Amino acid sequence: MKWTISLAKKEDAPVIQQLAYSIWPKTYGEILGNTQLDYMLDQMYSIPVLEKQLNSKEQVYYILSQEEEPLGFASYGLHDDKGTYKLHKIYVHVSTQGKGAGKSLLAHMIQTVKELGATRLILNVNRYNAGAIGFYEKYGFKRIETIDVPIGNGYLMEDYIYQLDL
């Protein structure tokens, strides 16, 4: 399949929000309760939050499309350590899973950070998201840490941190 990957602009915040709201329930529906899912979507994907990230470049977003239909997104940012970038988000619509969309988007993100001088790419993945864990391990990411990240309202993100040496 032919995927188009384009740099997101501030005007794309509603597209990213709509994608998150359609992808997350299928991705996390059985992992998180509805209340936590709604809370996290509101905290991470409200239009003001997305616009702030897009304006400040604290996260650089890309949108994956097919025939001009947005089907996924990813974002990265510089991490604290020199040469380390963080893949903050990578999500593709369930209809594209297993068809190369995620692979194409991940390859694009890896190439982009390499061109910026990255020597490592790290990411957090939910410990109970077996599909995502298998995906990252298939592409060479290694688990380096287990963490619990408080996100407010008594909720935790129960994650593994994975790293890919570039």
- What's the pTM value of the predicted model, to 2 decimals? 0.95
Q: pLDDT tens digits for the chain (166 residues)? A: 789 999 999 999 999 999 999 999 999 999 998 999 999 999 999 999 999 999 987 899 999 999 999 999 999 999 987 899 999 999 999 999 889 999 999 999 999 999 999 999 999 999 999 999 999 999 999 999 999 999 999 999 999 999 999 9
Q: How many structural domains compose the chain?
A: 1
- Would you state the pLDDT for residue 127? 97
- Would you state the pLDDT for residue 144? 98
Q: Which domain holds residue 34?
A: 4-165
Phi, psi of 126 (to 5 degrees): -60, 130
- CATH number of the domain to which 82 belongs: 3.40.630.30
- Would you state the pLDDT for residue 80? 80
CA dihedral 17, 23, 24, 28 (to 10 degrees): -170
- Would you state the pLDDT for residue 57? 78
- Specify whether the CB–CB gap between 121 and 128 falls below 8 A: no
Pick the closest to residue 68 from 4, 23, 21 (CA basis). 4
Give 124-127 contacts, CB < 8 A, sequence gap 24+.
124/149, 124/157, 124/159, 124/160, 124/161, 124/162, 125/159, 125/160, 125/162, 126/28, 126/31, 126/157, 126/158, 126/159, 127/158, 127/159, 127/160
Report CA-CA distances (Å) from 61 to 16, 17, 64, 146, 150.
9, 12, 10, 26, 24
